[in-house]
Amino acid sequence: MGAGGRMPVPPSSKKTETEALKRVPCEKPPFTLGDLKKAIPPQCFKRSIPRSFSYLISDIIIASCFYYVATNYFSLLPQSISYLAWPLYWACQGCVLTGIWVIAHECGHHAFSDYQWLDDTVGLIFHSFLLVPYFSWKYSHRRHHSNTGSLERDEVFVPKQRSAIKWYGKYLNNPLGRVVMLTIQFVLGWPLYLAFNVSGRPYDGFASHFFPNAPIYNDRERLQIYISDAGILAVCYGLYRYAAAQGMASMFCLYGVPLLIVNFFLVLITYLQHTHPSLPHYDSSEWDWLRGALATVDRDYGILNKVFHNITDTHVAHHLFSTMPHYNAMEATKAIKPILGEYYQFDGTPWYKAMYREAKECIYVEPDREDEKKGVYWYNNKL
């Protein structure tokens, strides 16, 4: 998937599950962001337009090939085989489109090129195609990067404290309840977050990514929210015209189901990057940016690491240096790991096991009880 030149995850990254669940240090680290930057080869911070476009074009070509095969050959298959062909198409197309989503996300971080207008143009086009309001999410996501790990100011996947758990929480704390909650989260979580800020930071007033006057945004950003909405409306109109010409079933099979796969993966990836029994959270008395950025975890998705342009297994480096292009993140991760030491967290648990384990273990956060560190919170699941 255009991953040439990347370096593999060093074997030392692999940990047993017991080691991976061990709490990372929550004290102020003995290194600075400057120390980490000095350890990274300077070329890792260089953005290349040809190289960035090579990944995007590669993904577009692959997605177009899947579309061509589905539209021209699936109707020729025996019905019994088509029942297998369509799920295969949905899974493959959804994964490739997730890779395109990741590249558009890079544009929001100004990691695609040295030109902000080019990044915003590419990001607007391809996020809109995936029904993501580009500028709206760019600004809220930037605030997430500015406040990661803060119980008061982080933007999304802010963990609840025990007192905030609803009365029915204990009735969902069982295998069936976890499956139901995970299903709702992965199917409806992304649109509900965009439309109604579900699972996001509490705001005074209606906080929607589609509402230009939402309290999420300041006055300088509101015009661009209109532009994001216009991009979504344009794509919706295009989908309407396609459905009118080819039928709703065709539109749903070729675009709708792969989009559900994209939404599943982006919620899953984000959830697992910031939800882990070993990661601390901080209140305002203890939080600082560096420790918050380090309160993330790299995960292993197997071959999907490459399909998703390594957003999965280089997330720590991404939070530290978000303008670094994805194709240099593996080299940067290898360079900073010796300095990070125990502050670096990698969990190689397969994602399909990890999502259930985290849903079981990470229900709420409570103040540190082991070392009585004020302002530091850890996950617990005892209801």
Calpha distance 166→184 (Å, rounded): 17
Q: What are the pLDDT digits (tens) for 302-330?
A: 999 999 999 999 999 999 999 999 999 99
Higher pLDDT, 211 or 171: 211
Q: Where residue 370 falls among pLDDT bands split at 50, 70, 90?
A: confident
Kindly tell me if the per-residue pLDDT of 12 is higher than 90: no
pTM (two decimals):
0.93
Q: What are the pLDDT digits (tens) for 229-281?
A: 999 999 999 999 999 999 999 999 999 999 999 999 999 999 999 999 999 99
| pLDDT, position 20 | 80
Q: Where residue 15 falls among pLDDT bands split at 50, 70, 90?
A: low
The answer to whether the CB of 113 falls within 8 A of the CB of 324 is no
Calpha distance 64→70 (Å, rounded): 10
Calpha distance 129→323 (Å, rounded): 23
Distances (CA, A) of 192 to 107, 196, 285: 23, 5, 31
Place of tokens 């300041």: 218
Domain boundaries in the chain? 21-380
Kindly tell me if the per-residue pLDDT of 18 is higher than 80: no
